[in-house]
A = this chain, B = another copy of it.
């Protein structure tokens, strides 16, 4: 159950699949010195493998404990967190004026994958802190920033996102936690929240909660929600910690996976109200929350990539060691390792191809965010902003769906041992399952893609992206490399299907939104498969031309496998999109108890 960061694959994906190198070369990343990329990632890989990975199973077995309104994490976790902060990993992409290293979001995206891969339950804590940093940095007052931002950037304090209430899950607007204006400009918060990740823990001496609540005179729904910063301990003017604030964990969930990550019910106001500080303007909290959520959605997509890669590494190691039966054509005398059997090879290649495709989609989203933030050209920034918005739901949903699929294949390759908890494959299968659910279910991502992203600017960002994919396919065909097999034609079929369904949905959006919504999920999958397939092809093309890539032909093999075995689902997915609405007619008579 060791973990080794796949730095070669990652660098190829980041620089050539996701386009970091081209963006740097075009000057879109400001003064970023891309020479340091590999070095930073190598170090991150070491930290993940040496410090975080060994605590993964410990955390799963031990879980967390709630006693006397305090959460205790698993043995070794507070210490590992201190080392994490000391090594500066929390501050990778944090703003420099608050102590951050100001590195591109793309580098942090890779790091997020590595933390999730080595220890998903651990990595979740800083993931939420980063979202909190985004919200505070973008929307907070200078005073709040001065007090809280530096501590959040360094990781000395962690952040939480508090949206969900029992009646308000996907439907955030239904929340009831209330905020009252106090005379001193602060607010008193009353209510309770559920499913709060790292809502309490013992790894830091303070926690900064970001809580959505409703003022007494607020409009109904999402237009009446405000965002408040609610510290666990109040902070004195000199920066030292003051009184315990009135926000406490009152319960923790018994979950399928990520056992080491406390999922808390939070209670506010039992002792007179939790003191909160407004972030941004009253009743504009949803806007702030979207800032947090978009960041978190990409992060969750990277969890999908991370857990998939970990499951792959473990299954590969098992398949290389475990001997059962003789493979056909075997020249050995005894049993062969099961990796020699074609069906096991097929499963492993599927795992690796899906993981690689999702990885590049996530990294490309991060690169777009970097360009949007750093380019000096406003047109380039605008296009990159639209690109990031378009890619975010795909990065989140496609990556987390394949995360669970790959983890399931990982269990299967282990045979009976996969079902035994001490093997570890089952933990990945359990851990992976939350990612398609939280930060907006994958169904919600698909709706977001179709209704908000596809439709933006009459589909302009989609057509621009599909144009780039067309270029990649032409390059594959122009390469005349027989090792690509049917990669070109298969990706072309997929792109054609994606183009047709995009037009179909754009049309339906105007006339019959429900019909478009019915096909949203297969559309997102088709988008992911086409984009992922083209990304792997682009990486294979690059690998053939780069110096210093070990066995570049293997990237061609991988791209080909994806095109011939995964992208070929495009035809069926297109039918699923187009036939979805009529297929649901009469559903009510079927769906009876």
- Verify B518–A342 contact, CB threshold 8 A: yes
- Verify B586–A343 contact, CB threshold 8 A: no
Task: Name A517's contact: one of B4, B343, B434, B518 (CB within 8 Å).
Answer: B343
- Verify A324–B408 contact, CB threshold 8 A: no
CB distance from A256 to the nearest CB of B (A): 4
Q: Taking CB as reference atom, which chain B residue is nearest A319?
A: B591
- Verify A517–B341 contact, CB threshold 8 A: yes
**Copies assembled:** 2
- Verify A579–B593 contact, CB threshold 8 A: no
- Kindly state the separation between the CA atoms of A174 and B326 in the bound complex, as whole angstroms: 11
Within 8 A of B (CB), among A400-423: 404, 408, 411-412, 415-416, 418-422
A466 at the A/B interface (Cβ < 8 Å)?
no
CB distance from A414 to the nearest CB of B (A): 8
Interface 0/1 of A223-256, CB less than 8 Å to B: 0000000000000000000000000000001111
Instruction: Chain B residues near A580: list those with CB within 8 A.
Output: 342, 346, 565
A215 at the A/B interface (Cβ < 8 Å)?
no
- Verify A520–B329 contact, CB threshold 8 A: no
- Verify A561–B583 contact, CB threshold 8 A: yes
- Verify A583–B349 contact, CB threshold 8 A: yes
B-binding segment of A139-147, A452-460, A567-575: A567-575
Tell me whether A412 and B591 are in contact in the complex, defined as CB-CB below 8 angstroms, given that A254-B422, A335-B171, A349-B584 are known contacts: no
Tell me whether A579 and B486 are in contact in the complex, defined as CB-CB below 8 angstroms, given that A591-B345, A593-B316 are known contacts: yes
A426 at the A/B interface (Cβ < 8 Å)?
yes
Instruction: Chain B residues near A434: list those with CB within 8 A.
Output: 419
Interface residues of A toward B: which range?
Answer: 35 or more
A348 at the A/B interface (Cβ < 8 Å)?
yes
- Verify B437–A346 contact, CB threshold 8 A: no
Interface 0/1 of A321-336, CB less than 8 Å to B: 0011100110000010
- Verify B174–A514 contact, CB threshold 8 A: no
Instruction: Chain B residues near A485: list those with CB within 8 A.
Output: 579, 582-583
Tell me whether A553 and B586 are in contact in the complex, defined as CB-CB below 8 angstroms, given that A253-B420, A429-B256 are known contacts: yes
CB distance from A442 to the nearest CB of B (A): 7
CB distance from A127 to the nearest CB of B (A): 17
Q: Taking CB as reference atom, which chain B residue is nearest A426?
A: B256
- Kindly state the separation between the CA atoms of A419 and B164 in the bound complex, as whole angstroms: 15
Within 8 A of B (CB), among A308-358: 313, 316-317, 319-320, 323-325, 328-329, 335, 339, 341-349, 352
Tell me whether A584 and B518 are in contact in the complex, defined as CB-CB below 8 angstroms, given that A256-B429, A564-B579 are known contacts: no
